[in-house]
Structure 1
C-alpha cells in the first residue's frame, strides 16, 4: 500500500492544512481555495481541508490531491472530525482523495464504530483513510480497523495525551518504529527545523497548518513576541 501514488506524492514532503472555521476572518471556500493555491505555488504537494464545499473548490482551483474532513459537534460524543457516516458521505460526494477522521479510542456518535466507517470508505470509493490519533493506543486501534495512514493531529487535544507547546516528536518516533503504515506528523509544527526533525524521526510526511495558513495566528506570534521583548527591556 505504501507504493500507492498518493504516498509517493507526499513522501518526505509537505501537506498544508487550509482551514478556517465560521468565526475566523478567512472563512469561505473561495478564500480557502486561494490560500491553497498560494500553498501550491509555495511547494505544497497536498492540501488538507475542512468541509465538502472547501474540498471541492480547492480541488478545482489547485488540481492537487485533497485530504478532506468535516468538523461537526455532536452532543453525545467528543469526536468532531468526520465523526459519522453522514460526514463521510459528504466527502465521498466531492471525491476527496483521502478522508481524515478522528480515530481516537473514544465513543463515536450514533453508536457507529471506526471500523464501520473505514470499511464503508474502502468498499464504496477509491479514497484512502487518514486516522487522526492522539496516542499509541489510538494508532494501534486505528490499524486494527484498517486505516491507510495515521496522523498525530490530536496529540495534546485529548484527555489521555500530553499537553505540550512543542510538536509531539516522541509519539512520531515511536509510531514510525511500530507501524507498518505511513505516519504523518501533524500538530504544532511551527518551523522548517521542526518539520525536518520529524522526517529524521521517521515521519512519512508533514502537515503544517496554522504556521502557514492562519495569518491571525502568525500575527499574534509576532505581536506577543514584540510585547514580551518590550516588557523585558523595561525591567
Structure 2
C-alpha cells in the first residue's frame, strides 16, 4: 500500500471524468484522456466507475485512484458509498479506493470504519478518504484511512458557503494528519497546483481545469456571448 502512495508523492494526479450526458462519457474516450495525461508526466489518474477504470487499466500501468459515484437517496453520500461498490472498483483495476469519509448519514448500516477496514483487509487496497472538514479528516484517519483529500470541501452542507480550493483546510490537515494529505477540488491553474504542494500537499489532483471540456466551454460561452439587449 505504501508503495502505491509513494508513486504519487509530489506529483500531479489528473481526474479524468465527464458528465453522464457528454459524448466524452465513454470508456474508451476516458481511457484516451487518461493516457494523454500520463504520457505528459502525470503520476496517476482519478477515475469514476468500474467500466471506465477497466478501460483505463487496459491502457495504463500508472496508479489509478478509483471511485464509483452512486446516488442513493436519502443519503447524501455518493462517492463509493458501500463495500460492494468498492469491490467492483478494485476488481476493475483501481490501485487506491476513494470513499466519502464525511460523517453524514450513510446508506445501509455499514459504518465508515467498517467500510475502510473491509477495503483494506478484504481487497488489500489503500483508502483515500474524501473529506470536507478537519474534524472529518481526523475521524477518517482514526478509522484507518491511508490518505485524506480535501475533495469535498465546498460540496457538503457544512461547507457549501465556501469555495474550493480549501487551502486553509489543507494547511490544517497537513499540520494534524499523520497520513498523506492530497489536495483536490477547485485547483484552476498551475500556480494553484504549485501552491498546494508548497503548503505541504502530498500530491495534487486536478480535474476540470485540465479535462473538463464541457464545463470549460460553458464558462467561455458565458463570458463571450452577445447580450440580447
Same fold (TM over 0.5): yes
User: Which of structure 1's runs of 4+ aligned residues deviate more than 6 A?
Assistant: none
Q: Tell me whether 1:149 sits opposite 2:143 in the alignment.
A: no
31, 37, 50: which one aligns with 2:29: 31
Alpha-carbon displacement from aligned partner over 1:80-118 (angstroms, at most 9, x marks no partner) = 000011201111222310000000011110111111111
Quote the residue 1:81 is aligned against.
79
CA contact (8 A) 1:69 1:81 kept: yes
- C-alpha separation between the residues in 2 aligned to 1:193 and 1:221? 20
- C-alpha separation between the residues in 2 aligned to 1:8 and 1:89? 23
Gaps of 5+ in 2: none
- C-alpha separation between the residues in 1 aligned to 2:87 and 2:148? 21
Q: Secondary structure at the match of 2:36?
A: helix
1:138–1:34 CA distance, 2 compared to 1 (3 A): same
Aligned length: 228
- C-alpha separation between the residues in 2 aligned to 1:162 and 1:203? 23
Q: Tell me whether 1:140 sits opposite 2:169 in the alignment.
A: no
Q: Which moved more, 1:155-164 or 1:181-190?
A: 155-164
Q: Structure 2 matches for 1:82-97, cutoff 5 A? A: 82-97=80-95
- C-alpha separation between the residues in 1 aligned to 2:125 and 2:114? 15
How big is the shift at 1:126?
A: 2.6
Gaps of 5+ in 1: none
- Supply the RMSD in Å over aligned alpha carbons: 1.7
CA contact (8 A) 1:33 1:57 kept: yes
Q: Which moved more, 1:35-44 or 1:98-107?
A: 35-44
- C-alpha separation between the residues in 2 aligned to 1:94 and 1:65? 13
Q: Tell me whether 1:167 sits opposite 2:152 in the alignment.
A: no
98, 103, 106: which one aligns with 2:104: 106
